[in-house]
Structure 1
Amino acid sequence: MAEADPESDQIRLKCIRKEGFFTVPPEHRLGRCRNKLNLTGEGTFGIVYRARGTQTDEIVALKKVQMDKEKDGIPISSLQEITLLLRLHYPNIVELKEVVVGNHLESISLVLAYCEQDLASLLENMTAPCSEAQVKRIMLQVLRHLQDLHSNLIMHRDVKASNLLMTDRGCVKTVDFGLARAYGVPVKPMTPKVVTLWYQAPELLLGTTTQTTSFDMWAVGCILAELLAHKPPLPGTSEIHQIDLIVQLLGMPSDNIWPGISKLPLAGQYSIRKQHYNNLKHKFPWLSEAGLCLLNFLFMYYPKKRATAGDCLESSYFKGKPLHEFPELMPTFPHHCNTRAAPSAVEGQSKRCKP
């Protein structure tokens, strides 16, 4: 579906409050507290803390919604995230435990199941790359999650390493559904500015107005390549640089391999290098033919021919040696995110019971 309009969002917000999903009633707001332990992340849509329940000692993630620029209530992105997480219950999607309101409606936090680290910071801090068996285990979980999402006609639209959380037992969970959208047939235009630059599909960079699940699958290709190489494959610094890196990796696109590319809004604005060969095999000389085939399938220029999550799960890459690790054999890792400074004593006292 197209972007939700503000009026319908306000109605939906009232419905959520009426149905009790904001689960802390006014008389108990100060009795059901969580102590912030440390900051774990900060983004466009919120600040995330690790927190401990004062009554249960349960460790959770507390995502405080950014309300600074909002004049008309809860941000649309947060409302959409709440609605989707209440609807989706899958093993590889982070669990929304509750939504809590402080003394004012402007103080809203999502209480989420806690995962020890995100994949991006984990890769940055690991002294050695993941084994190929571990890569397969991680990717199978990501693909199963996306298959569940896409079968429910939902696009995540911001698949990236930092939005993939991992528990100490090797369970991968997708988080941050602020940009996720439900869609229908026919597909209608949506906000174009989605997906972090390094994971943007080429059709997005060239200004397509049609958004499909193929966006998510291109990002999956970037994550697979990142896990295999132990570094992001396409770390562009601008849209022009991003397109150039893609062409360096995959060769120059044309109407023969990508029907309709010349008609995309921004196709004539970029000077694309004339490179007629694919560099994937050179970048991953040790990767099996099945692995290279899967990467090429995910990195198809023509979105309609790009691999789906179901296609990937059937790939011979995951059936060949080395076989993927079983969950109980996945290694544990230090809690890198928990080494960050905890909130100050003043902040801890003043905001402890007002998430």
Structure 2
Amino acid sequence: NGTYATVFKGRSKLTENLVALKEIRLEHEEGAPCTAIREVSLLKNLKHANIVTLHDIIHTERCLTLVFEYLDSDLKQYLDNCGNLMSMHNVKIFMFQLLRGLSYCHTRKILHRDLKPQNLLINETGELKLADFGLARAKSVPTKTYSNEVVTLWYRPPDVLLGSTEYSTPIDMWGVGCILNEMATGHPMFPGATVKEELHLIFRLLGTPTEETWSGISSNEEFRSYLFPQYRPQTLINHVPRLDTEGIDLLSALLLYDTRSRISAEAALQHPYFLSLGNNIHNLTDSRDSSLFGVFRAVVRPRSRRPSFWPI
């Protein structure tokens, strides 16, 4: 059960494949929820191996049913099943797939706006796919003003926490950094219960922002009203010891206060952190059938029957 829908597991009589049926109840007074309409209109045009496939739409008087491809798990469940200790090799593979799907969206000026482990689905092969585009929005130019009450608190960037409503693709990249940290450590990076607590956790680790780290912050009224102590930035490697030097560098680039400096999904895909996966991963097309593992099996462990990216 979700905010505006219930998801069922089903089987296609036509193909006998498993599917996920997202049933959205329609209230006669209001019609279809805007989140459902937004999700349908966006997903119809997003065809990528790392984005969940919308197979069909069934519209009746009482409900709207979206027929999605079925995936066994999500990243939150996967972490739980690993005892919150993921293989660092798998962290890298999942991270690359997340960035691939996000780069495809951002190139088409679509922001996800609700990235969190529960919205990253994983199948038994090890493919990761972005899902739940109910809060996603197509970004028009010039940037429109959006609600600042969108992203789940733990993955919400400080600019949005401090009231910014004019944001773009960097809003998703902060969430990617939080997810990378969570995969590497096994626990959420900034699990704040309120906006003030969330900001306090961020500033305590990354340092209270200054004009040097975040141009214009000293004139932000909300920031000034909180009267945060002047924390110095801590060394990230001490908090994420399992990440290598390149991984820490990528994490730092994702968690920059200034949105203009925060690394993009496209640039992140070229980061040295992914060099160990080989060059062939950059030759993949955007096709739904263009899975990372078509290339990856040949790179890692070609003779193994058990996928080398899946924990034993």
TM-score (norm. length: structure 1): 0.77
RMSD of aligned residue pairs (Cα, Å): 2.1
Structure 1 CA distance for aligned equivalents of residues 102 and 30 of structure 2 = 33
Contact 2:23 2:63 in 1 (8 A): yes
Aligned residue among 30, 33, 43 for 1:75? 33
**Structure 1 pair 86–269 and aligned structure 2 pair: CA distance change class (3 A):** same
Deviations 1:215-263 (A, max 9, x none): 1000000010000001111111111110111012211111221001133
* 1:182 aligned onto 2:116: no
User: Residue 209 of structure 2 aligns to which amino acid in structure 1?
Assistant: P
User: In the alignment, what sits opposite 1:99?
Assistant: 57
- 1:271-282 alignment runs, 5 A limit: 271-282=227-238
**Structure 1 pair 310–67 and aligned structure 2 pair: CA distance change class (3 A):** same
User: In the alignment, what sits opposite 1:289?
Assistant: 245
Deviation at 1:78, TM superposition (A): 0.6
After the TM superposition, which parts of structure 1 deviate over 6 Å for at least 4 consecutive aligned residues?
A: 321-325
User: In the alignment, what sits opposite 1:331?
Assistant: 310
- 1:66-215 alignment runs, 5 A limit: 66-67=25-26, 71-102=29-60, 104=61, 106-127=62-83, 129-215=85-171
Structure 1 CA distance for aligned equivalents of residues 25 and 79 of structure 2 = 28
SS state at 1:173 partner: strand
Structure 1 CA distance for aligned equivalents of residues 277 and 134 of structure 2 = 37
Deviation at 1:110, TM superposition (A): 0.5
Structure 1 CA distance for aligned equivalents of residues 220 and 102 of structure 2 = 27
- 1:235-246 alignment runs, 5 A limit: 235-246=191-202
Contact 2:88 2:243 in 1 (8 A): no
User: Residue 151 of structure 2 aligns to which amino acid in structure 1?
Assistant: V
SS state at 1:249 partner: helix
Structure 2, gaps ≥5 residues long: 282-292, 298-306
> Which one has the largest radius of gyration?
1
TM-score (norm. length: structure 2): 0.87
Structure 1 CA distance for aligned equivalents of residues 203 and 75 of structure 2 = 26
User: In the alignment, what sits opposite 1:48?
Assistant: 7
Deviation at 1:316, TM superposition (A): 0.8
Structure with more relative contact order (C-alpha pairs < 8 Å, separation 6 or more): 1
Structure 1, gaps ≥5 residues long: 1-41, 334-355
User: In the alignment, what sits opposite 2:21?
Assistant: 62
Contact 1:207 1:265 in 2 (8 A): no
Structure 1 CA distance for aligned equivalents of residues 13 and 242 of structure 2 = 51
